Amino acid sequence: MSMRTPGAVTIKRPSEIDRMRGAGAILAGILEVLHAELRAGVTTGDLDAIAERMIRDAGAIPSFKGYGTNPPFPGSICASVNDEVVHGIPSPRRRVANGDVVSIDIGCILDGWHADCARTWIVGSAPREVSDLVDATRRGMEAGIAAARPGQRLGDVGHAIESVAREHGYGIVRPFVGHGIGRSMHEDPQVPNYGTPGLGLQIEAGMCFAIEPMFNLGGDDVFVADDNWTVRTSDGSLSAHFENTIAVTEAGPEVLTER
């Protein structure tokens, strides 16, 4: 992957990060509710309706709804079940069952500033190898965030994430990556979930990133389904996805999408 020029990466002022913190707090609260609502028999459309109502009640705008073309994304969340990796379209016909692995991605805009985050949860219980995948994907995100400090490089972030997947032999999704975030949901730079230490853009205080590893129980490969959105594993293996929006401060990374 080619890294774009550092000049295109925006540095946010503290007052701007504060607006993003507000958007992130809305998402953190909604994810707590969605987690509590997730049980066998619930549809991903039910979760989408709850999320959209809560975003709008908070005075924010769902950033996913209407995003893109061919077709515009119809939901306020992405709901990706089992071998679906990311960008699953929520539906009142998609009922989850015990043992399903459900990844919920959500984004909103508050006063023109974005936040974006994702969690993967297991409905009821699942075999140990499944809960291990979910736990490792969260740890991959946390390792990437911990590496996002002033003076480090994006390759350090990607390497930290990749190292967690490698420990377990999980597949790493490469065509979909983290990103800068701010006035737009997707800003420069791209933040791959793999990398070489010491290479890539140098990280500075005021940069804001969405760091979002996707790990597969099987191989790396994925494809986009016929709906033009849903990304699935090529081998049908289970996948997990975690994402936080962070601000880099002089003291290190600050997570904006957790309480």
- Cβ–Cβ under 8 Å, residues 213 and 137: yes
Give the range of 62-70, 83-91, 114-122, 247-255 binding Mg ion by CB under 5 A. Answer: 114-122
Q: What's the token pair of residue 131?
A: 């809960």
Cβ proximity to Mg ion: between 86 and 123 the closer is 86
Phi, psi of 233 (to 5 degrees): -75, 140
Angle between helix 44-57 and helix 14-37 axes, rounded to 10 deg: 140
Cβ proximity to Mg ion: between 44 and 190 the closer is 190
Size of the site for Mg ion (CB under 5 A): 2
**Residue 116 binds to Mg ion (criterion: CB under 5 A):** yes
- Cβ–Cβ under 8 Å, residues 228 and 72: no
Give the range of 21-29, 113-121, 124-132, 213-221 binding Mg ion by CB under 5 A. Answer: 113-121
Give the range of 115-123, 163-171, 196-204, 224-232 binding Mg ion by CB under 5 A. Answer: 115-123
- What is the closest distance, in whole angstroms, from the C-beta atom of residue 256 to Mg ion in the complex? 13
Provide the CA 113 distance to its chain's centre, in angstroms: 17
- Alpha-carbon distance of 94 to 220, in angstroms, equals 26
**Residue 210 binds to Mg ion (criterion: CB under 5 A):** yes
**Residue 100 binds to Mg ion (criterion: CB under 5 A):** no
- Alpha-carbon distance of 104 to 32, in angstroms, equals 11
Give the range of 45-53, 76-84, 194-202, 207-215 binding Mg ion by CB under 5 A. Answer: 207-215
Binding stretches for Mg ion (CB under 5 A): 116, 210
